[in-house]
Amino acid sequence: MAFQHRIRMTIAIVATFVAVTFQLFIPQLLGQSVDQAYTLFQRGAGGAEAQQVLLISAALLFAVSVLRGVFTMLHNYQAEAVGQTVGYELRLAIYEKIQRLSFSYHDRVHSGDLITRGMLDIEGVRLFVNTGIIRLFVLTVLIGVGSYLMLRSNVLLALVALSFVPFVGWRAVVTRLRLRKGWLRLQERLGVLTRVMEENLGGIRVVRAFAAQGYEMNKFDRASRRAFRLTLHRIGLQVRNGTAMSFAYFVAMGLVLLIGGRMTLAGEITVGRLTEFLAFMQILQMPVRQLGPLVNSFARATTSGERLFAVLDLEPDIRDKPDAHDLELTEGRLRFERVDFKYERNDAREHALNDISFEVGPGETLGIVGPPGSGKSTIAHLIPRFYDVSGGRITIDGQDIREVTLKSLRQAVGLIQQDSFIFTARLENNLAYGNPWAEQTHIEWAAEVSQLHNYIEQLPKRYRTLVGERGVSLSGGQRQRLAIARMLVQQSPIMIFDDSTAAIDAGTEQRIREGLSQIAHRHATIIIAHRLSSLMHADEILFVDDGRIVERGTHNELVELGGRYRALYELQSNPDADSFEGIAG
């Protein structure tokens, strides 16, 4: 990803080579300066001549140092720019992937873990461009070219000076393996920490209602301590490794000073040559100290990259076929043909749905009722293809929904669930979420049908009022009415109400139903509810239990049948009636 930005990476790498080249000039200039000064001293040259030589040497050193600094700044800037760009691209990629991943994936993975991957793991990968790739170039050139220059100057002193390199390389490999394991565990612990925090913030009202702040604080403290202990272990490993590397380097430098000093006294090398070697060693001190952060950068990047690309490389279970076409709506008739379905996580029974067949078209209303866990919501989730059927097929106007594009399908299907999600945005933005180009008059009409318009009109900013996080400033019934209005703005030919009026009082629900009846001829409507008053008017009612349709017919037909539906009807009509066992079957 970094090398896709060829211009910036080329500038960074070239600037790196130039900066390192200027840095390697410094020891040679120092050595030459020392030899010149020593020669002048032996010749007994005058102060003016010696001062001129030293000024020239100082000017050269200053110029080389400035040029080294300029090119170092250039490669740091370009490398950081590429790293930030890669981070931006990864954030977009992970966010886009999360939008496309199937419901079956989100059923298994906690959102806190995804947040950690989308923030901390991306940061670990992003930093690798500057702290890994570019730094590796710097160290390679410094050690490689510096070694060549020292070997060309004096083989014995060069071997002594480089004696620490094999030890440092061995420690770097061992530490990298240990740090990689530690980073992986730390990222997992931070994912748990994020999960605990997200759940606490999302359920803060429940925590306060049950005075459970102490319990939540202890839970967060335990998760934080586990991450803290791993962090201390990782830091300790880095410090011990860095100390060992630095110790090996200073031992090598001491040996160079000892052996080189004796060689100087013996006349085998000049004082300037010894100075040059010591300056080279001083330059090598920087890459030695950077080996620790470099190893840490490699360990973190590989660990973070593994976690990140484990998500990026996933293929959604539910996706468009290569030859998928847009849904062509002619009538808007929905049909279930002997549909079977099984969740991936469902090991308790063979199927969540068995042999489900029905049909509903414009102007028709289908009601679905049954005990909790009977498969009602599963039917609703199969229509917009949140999951794929295990057997049979679902068609709209004769077209198998697996053969059409997801975008066109979900524009044709409006689904409202009991727990309606509201965004932190203005009311008009929430209402027009499915159709951002809707006219204001259409938005207000939808709010009127859902019995929300009068409430909005009383607000100081009316439709421009900001709704709090997750809609906390609205009551449960208001959130459900907003969700109904949002679907009406979208104008989907197929409307599905999945227990979406449970928090709305009976009178308001009746007025909403009357408003919907004015447009019912244009829509196929499915109502899933526990409250029979919500679906008694339906053209056909299905009683679902254990994933099967056990009874079907109109309200009057089912009451006359005297089965499960009638028992539920009598229980809701007369709560004192002893009909519960008949419902439970």
Give the whole-angstrom CA distance, residue 433 versus residue 409: 17
Q: What pLDDT, on the 0 to 100 scale, is given for residue 345?
A: 57
Residues in a beta bridge with 544: 549
Give the whole-angstrom CA distance, residue 476 versus residue 484: 13
Residues near 160 by Cβ (< 8 Å), separated by ≥ 6?
252, 255, 256, 259
Residue 585 clears pLDDT 50, i.e. is over it: no
- Contact predicate 414/446, CB 8 Å: no
Give the whole-angstrom CA distance, residue 394 versus residue 402: 8
pLDDT, tens digit, 9 for 90 and up, residues 3-15: 888 898 889 889 8
Beta-sheet strand order (sheet of 353-360): 353-360, 334-341, 391-396, 399-400
Residue 340, Cβ neighbours under 10 Å: how many? 16
pTM recorded for the entire structure: 0.70
Residues near 126 by Cβ (< 8 Å), separated by ≥ 6?
83, 84, 86, 87, 90
Confidence of residue 395 (pLDDT cuts 50, 70, 90): very high
Query: Which of 232-236, 290-294, 386-390 bottoms out in mean pLDDT, i.e. has the lowest?
Result: 290-294
Q: What pLDDT, on the 0 to 100 scale, is given for residue 584?
A: 40
- Contact predicate 319/406, CB 8 Å: yes
Q: What pLDDT, on the 0 to 100 scale, is given for residue 576?
A: 58
Residue 577 clears pLDDT 80, i.e. is over it: no
- The backbone torsions φ and ψ at residue 335, rounded to the nearest 5 degrees and listed phi first, read -140, 130
**Structure tokens belonging to residue 81:** 């720019």
Mean pLDDT of 280-293: 72
Mean pLDDT of 108-133: 79
Closest C-alpha among 130, 120, 150 to residue 13: 130
Residues near 233 by Cβ (< 8 Å), separated by ≥ 6?
182
Q: What pLDDT, on the 0 to 100 scale, is given for residue 334?
A: 93
Closest C-alpha among 172, 85, 79, 91 to residue 129: 79
- The backbone torsions φ and ψ at residue 101, rounded to the nearest 5 degrees and listed phi first, read -65, 145
Closest C-alpha among 114, 113, 100, 108 to residue 386: 100
Mean pLDDT of 114-142: 80
pLDDT, tens digit, 9 for 90 and up, residues 314-332: 888 888 888 889 988 888 8
- The distance from CA 104 to its chain's CA centroid, rounded to whole angstroms, is 17
**Structure tokens belonging to residue 298:** 């490699």
Residue 272 clears pLDDT 70, i.e. is over it: yes
pLDDT, tens digit, 9 for 90 and up, residues 533-542: 888 888 899 9
Size of the chain, expressed as the number of residues it contains:
585
Query: Which of 201-215, 421-435, 567-581 bottoms out in mean pLDDT, i.e. has the lowest?
Result: 567-581
Q: How far is CA 39 from CA 27, 43, 332, 390, in A?
A: 18, 6, 99, 91
Residue 264 clears pLDDT 90, i.e. is over it: no
Mean pLDDT of 500-526: 80
**Structure tokens belonging to residue 442:** 């259409």
pLDDT, tens digit, 9 for 90 and up, residues 199-223: 777 777 677 777 777 887 888 888 8
Mean pLDDT of 285-312: 77
Say which amino acid occupies 5.
H
Residue 336 clears pLDDT 90, i.e. is over it: yes
Mean pLDDT of 555-573: 86
Q: Mean pLDDT for the chain?
A: 82
- Which domains does the chain possess? 2-312 (1.20.1560.10), 334-553 (3.40.50.300)
Confidence of residue 479 (pLDDT cuts 50, 70, 90): confident
Give the whole-angstrom CA distance, residue 257 versus residue 265: 12
**Structure tokens belonging to residue 327:** 């849904």
